């Protein structure tokens, strides 16, 4: 084939789900730039050779090679009936069987492409998040934004638990991409959504807690966006006799009101962990923080979570909406954020 295949849209999302823990991978240096192609990136010893560069390779054979490779990563075959790919301009947009080709409308930014095998690239998650609006609901895309900027990885194609991972993107990186590409399809919605996304969630439970706060009122959230994750609180010398730790981190923190929200899952039932939790709550309360604890049991029951969210709203100085209509929306949001928890509350 003359040009590398660029995985895009839902196929790229599937790839990142399955392969993100295996990265880092090679960034394409100048794909489609004049006189330069993706094959000129720095050599990566572990880059798979799929045979896509074979002379005279038919597109049908290339599609089969790519599909087999993606299946080997753990992507279900039924998700690959048509593989989403990206080209720069409309004149490149043929419609071969097995491929769904999308047009970027400009040269694809080389710093947002990752070479995953010889002759095969994938858009990075900055582009993928923007594209996700074409098949995800607004809440799904919001959650994906949190995951892209998180310190964990959750493979939605697997029943396995999340794993800790380094943060790959900051919200500022994603906003910068939107600002640099204002006319690209999906950017307007993504830019609006990113106003609610926060950096560095450490678990899906932290993400769920934050979404209950930042989601729009029309979606069942509190509609409050001025929060941050893992706010560090150093214990002053005059309070160090109260705690062993020199500092604490608050899971979700609202600076304007001094409200802290902690998520305590089943692992907090351990006796020693419970003692440490009690100690931290004592110190943080002594320092003037308004601390509220959410538990898995509350997330599992509509009325319990509703009462807890009312307490959070009250602490933040927000209206407590107790109407039946809002409670229905809030319960729908609750069911959404815990849908992949598999009983691990």
Least confident of 32-46, 53-67, 132-146: 32-46
Q: What is the pLDDT of residues 125-175, one digit of tens each?
A: 999 999 999 999 999 999 999 999 999 999 999 888 899 999 999 999 999
Q: For residue 2, name the pLDDT band (cuts at 50, 70, 90).
A: low
Position of tokens 């880092």? 24
Angle, alpha carbons 131-134-140 (nearest 5°): 85
Alpha helices, DSSP H only, in 73-124? none
CA separation, residue 321 to residues 34, 108, 302, 308, 313 (Å): 58, 46, 14, 12, 9
Q: For residue 45, name the pLDDT band (cuts at 50, 70, 90).
A: low
Judged against a pLDDT cut of 90, whether residue 342 lies above it is answered with: no
DSSP code for 236 = P
Q: For residue 41, name the pLDDT band (cuts at 50, 70, 90).
A: very low
Q: Is 42 helix (H, G, I), strand (E, B) or coil?
A: coil
Which pLDDT value is given to residue 299? 96
Q: For residue 265, name the pLDDT band (cuts at 50, 70, 90).
A: confident
Integer Cα distance of 95 and 103 in angstroms: 12
Q: What is the pLDDT of residues 270-324, one digit of tens each?
A: 556 677 888 989 999 999 999 999 999 999 999 999 999 999 999 999 999 999 9
CA separation, residue 109 to residues 147, 181, 264, 344 (Å): 22, 10, 42, 40
In this prediction, residues 100-109 reach a mean pLDDT of 94
Which pLDDT value is given to residue 327? 98
Closest CA to 75 of 163, 16, 141: 16
Position of tokens 């609901």? 137
Judged against a pLDDT cut of 80, whether residue 220 lies above it is answered with: yes
Collect contacts of 303-310 with beta carbons under 8 A, ≥24 apart: 305/212, 305/330, 305/334, 306/330, 306/331, 309/212, 309/222
Q: Mean of the per-residue pLDDT values for the chain?
A: 89
Answer with the residue of higher pLDDT: 268 or 181. Answer: 181
Q: For residue 38, name the pLDDT band (cuts at 50, 70, 90).
A: very low
Q: For residue 91, name the pLDDT band (cuts at 50, 70, 90).
A: confident
- 237-266 burial string, b = 16+ CB within 10 Å, else e? eeeeeebeeeebebbbbbeebbbbbbbbbe
Q: What is the bridge-based pairing of β-strands 83-87 and 99-103?
A: parallel
Which pLDDT value is given to residue 23? 53
Helix (H) or strand (E) holding 116: strand 113-117
Closest CA to 200 of 230, 244, 176, 235: 230
Integer Cα distance of 267 and 270 in angstroms: 6
- 207-216 burial string, b = 16+ CB within 10 Å, else e? bbbbbbbbbb
Which pLDDT value is given to residue 212? 98
Judged against a pLDDT cut of 50, whether residue 36 lies above it is answered with: no
């Amino acid at each position: 084939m003359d040009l590398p295949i660029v995985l895009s849209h839902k196929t790229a999302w599937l790839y990142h789900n399955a392969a993100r823990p295996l990265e880092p991978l090679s960034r394409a240096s100048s794909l489609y730039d004049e006189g330069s192609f993706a094959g000129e990136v720095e050599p990566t010893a572990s880059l798979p050779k799929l045979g896509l560069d074979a002379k005279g390779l038919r597109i049908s054979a290339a599609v089969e090679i790519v599909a087999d490779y993606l299946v080997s990563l753990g992507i279900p075959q039924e998700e690959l009936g048509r593989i989403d790919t990206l080209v720069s301009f409309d004149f490149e947009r043929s419609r071969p069987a097995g491929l769904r080709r999308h047009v970027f409308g400009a040269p694809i930014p080389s710093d947002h492409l990752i070479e995953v095998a010889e002759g095969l690239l994938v858009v990075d998650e900055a582009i993928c998040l923007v594209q996700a609006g074409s098949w995800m609901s607004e809440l799904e895309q919001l959650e994906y934004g949190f995951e892209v900027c998180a310190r964990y990885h959750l493979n939605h194609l697997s029943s396995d638990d999340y794993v800790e991972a380094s943060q790959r993107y900051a919200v500022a990186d994603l906003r910068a991409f939107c600002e640099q590409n204002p006319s690209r399809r999906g950017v307007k919605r993504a830019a609006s959504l990113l106003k609610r996304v926060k950096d560095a969630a450490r678990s899906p439970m932290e993400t769920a807690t934050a979404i209950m706060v930042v989601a729009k009122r029309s979606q069942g959230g509190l509609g409050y966006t001025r929060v941050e994750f893992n706010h560090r609180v150093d214990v002053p010398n005059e309070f160090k006799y109260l705690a062993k730790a020199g500092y604490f981190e608050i899971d979700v923190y609202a600076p304007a009101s001094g409200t802290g929200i902690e998520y305590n899952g089943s692992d907090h039932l351990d006796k020693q962990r419970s003692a440490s939790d009690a100690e931290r709550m004592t110190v943080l309360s002594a320092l003037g923080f308004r601390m509220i604890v959410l538990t898995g049991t509350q997330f599992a029951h509509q009325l319990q979570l509703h009462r807890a969210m009312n307490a959070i709203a009250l602490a933040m100085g927000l209206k407590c909406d107790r109407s039946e209509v809002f409670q229905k929306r809030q319960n729908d949001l609750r069911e959404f954020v815990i849908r992949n928890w598999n009983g691990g509350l």
